[in-house]
Amino acid sequence: MKRKYWLTTILAFGFAFAAWGQQSAAPTPAPEPKPADSGPTLAQTMQFIQEKLSEQGKVGWAETTSNGMILRKFVNVADVMADPAACTLYATETVDQTFDIPNGKTLKPGYSADDLHTHIVETEQIPFKQVEKITVEKIQDFTNKSYAEAAHPEITVTVTPPVFYLVLSATSAVFSAHTSTTTGNQTPVEKDVTFKKNSLTFRDEETANKVAKAMTHAMELCGGGVTKKELF
């Protein structure tokens, strides 16, 4: 969420500050795609998703950590293209994040204020046929849970204003993206990555829930969703 770069970035930048505080049943066959007349068609649903994501514009918030650090983030999703034939959503997400220097702290030698700013451009694709679960969460709750899962429960954040993630999940790394990350004046780092979770940012919960509902419908029409049944 995104989910891939921010947690590592916060942990890494903490060290830039001086004096910073311390058998089996037969396999279950894949479901047949649901009929297109079961609600809006796939094309209509994908068009709705494309429009709602494009309308979001730049979404900004501040994450204040329990150790006094403040991360300011701005996320913008553009070039959104929903392809019904491929059951895939394509988009470009731009992230700008900057750390405030905590009161009473100074940068270690070799660091400058420019090094506290990171610019990320990520071109990604979401294959609805392989998505298994879609949820909406407050970014504050999502981030705190992620720190706990990364064995850093001592770090908690407060997010202002409240913003929301639409989280798409799968049991395997079905989401792919190309990222270009620039820290300060350094040369951009290019990577191709895959991951099990992806997230899209929304400034209000109502819109996030509407898009989640549409994406769930698209997922079902494309034959996605959890297909495994519990044996016991």
- pLDDT grade, residue 90 (50/70/90)? very high
- 17 pLDDT higher than 50: yes
* 48, 65, 213 from 166: Cα distances, Å: 15, 22, 10
Of 17, 112, 26, 24, nearest to 70 (Cα)? 17
- Residue 67's pLDDT is what? 82
- Residue 143's pLDDT is what? 93
- 199 pLDDT higher than 80: yes
Enclosing H/E stretch for 218: helix 205-221
- Residue 76's pLDDT is what? 97
Structure tokens at 134: 């879609």
- pLDDT grade, residue 228 (50/70/90)? very low
- Residue 119's pLDDT is what? 98
Q: Order of strands, edge to edge, in the sheet holding 164-169? A: 133-138, 164-169, 197-202
More confident residue, 85 or 232: 85
State the DSSP string of 25-40.
PPPPPPPPPPPTTSSS
Average pLDDT, the chain: 86
Structure tokens at 221: 């029409």
Kindly report, residue by residue over 99-116, the tens digit of the pLDDT. Answer: 998 777 888 888 888 889
- 30 pLDDT higher than 80: no
Q: What is the share, in percent, of the chain residues with pLDDT greater than 70?
A: 81
- pLDDT grade, residue 16 (50/70/90)? low
